[in-house]
Copies of this chain bind each other. A is one copy, B any other.
Amino acid sequence: MRENRLRRLWRDGKKTVNGWLGIPSSFSAELMAHQGYESITVDMQHGVVDYATMVEMLQAISTTDTVPMVRVPWREPGIVMKTLDAGAYGIICPMVSSREEAEELVVWGRYPPRGTRSFGPIRASLYAGSDYGRHANAEVLLLAMIETRGGVENLDDILSVEGLDGVYIGPADLSLALGYGAGFDREEPEILEVITRIAERARAHGKFAGIHTMSPAYARRMWDLGFHFVSLMTDARILANATAALLAELRGGAAEAEKGY
A52 is contacted by which of B28, B50, B251 (Cβ under 8 Å)? B50
Question: Does A177 have its Cβ within 8 Å of any Cβ on chain B?
Answer: yes
A259 is contacted by which of B56, B81, B126, B238 (Cβ under 8 Å)? B126
Question: Given the complex, which residues of B lie within 8 Å of A127, measured CB to CB?
Answer: 63
Residue in A31, A53, A127 with the greatest tally of chain B CB atoms within 10 Å: A31
Question: Given the complex, which residues of B lie within 8 Å of A241, measured CB to CB?
Answer: 242
Question: Given the complex, which residues of B lie within 8 Å of A111, measured CB to CB?
Answer: 176, 182
Question: Does A196 have its Cβ within 8 Å of any Cβ on chain B?
Answer: no
Interface contact A86-B48, CB-CB below 8 Å: yes
Question: Does A199 have its Cβ within 8 Å of any Cβ on chain B?
Answer: no
A160, chain B: closest CB distance, angstroms: 24
Question: Does A79 have its Cβ within 8 Å of any Cβ on chain B?
Answer: yes
Chain B residue nearest to A127 in the complex (CB): B63
The answer to whether residues A259 and B34 also contact, given A28-B239, A73-B81 and a CB cut-off of 8 A, is yes
Question: Does A216 have its Cβ within 8 Å of any Cβ on chain B?
Answer: yes
List the number of copies, as a whole number: 6
A9, chain B: closest CB distance, angstroms: 14
Contact indicator per residue, chain A 186-219, by CB within 8 Å of chain B (1) or not (0): 0000000000000000000000000000001001
A28, chain B: closest CB distance, angstroms: 5
The answer to whether residues A122 and B35 also contact, given A26-B59, A238-B239, A238-B242 and a CB cut-off of 8 A, is no
Interface contact B82-A45, CB-CB below 8 Å: yes
The answer to whether residues A118 and B46 also contact, given A239-B242, A250-B216 and a CB cut-off of 8 A, is yes
Q: A residues bordering B, Cβ < 8 Å?
A: 17, 19, 22-28, 30-32, 34-37, 45-48, 50-53, 55-56, 59-60, 62-63, 72-74, 76-79, 81-82, 85-86, 94-95, 111-113, 116, 118-127, 129-130, 132-134, 147-148, 170, 172-173, 176-177, 179, 181-182, 216, 219-220, 230, 232-233, 235-236, 238-244, 246-247, 249-251, 256-261
16 pairs of residues in contact across A and B, judged by CB atoms under 8 Å: A17-B250, A23-B23, A24-B25, A26-B59, A36-B256, A45-B120, A46-B120, A48-B86, A50-B51, A62-B63, A63-B126, A118-B170, A126-B259, A126-B261, A130-B260, A230-B250
